[in-house]
Amino acid sequence: MPQAVPAIAEKYRAVVTGQGIIASPEGDVWTVAAGNPGLGTSGSGDVLAGAVGGFLARELLDAMPQVLSELTF
pLDDT digits (tens, 9 = 90+) for 29-70: 988 877 666 666 777 777 777 777 777 777 766 766 666 666
Residue 47 is predicted with a pLDDT of 74
CA 26 to chain centroid: 15
Q: What is the pTM of this model?
A: 0.67
Task: Please give the single-letter amino acid code of residue 43.
Answer: G
Residue 9 is predicted with a pLDDT of 92
Q: Is the per-residue pLDDT at 28 higher than 80?
A: yes
Closest by Cα among 73, 51, 63 to 26: 63
Return the sign of the alpha-carbon dihedral for residues 49, 70, 59, 1.
negative
Residue bearing the bigger pLDDT, 16 or 51 = 16
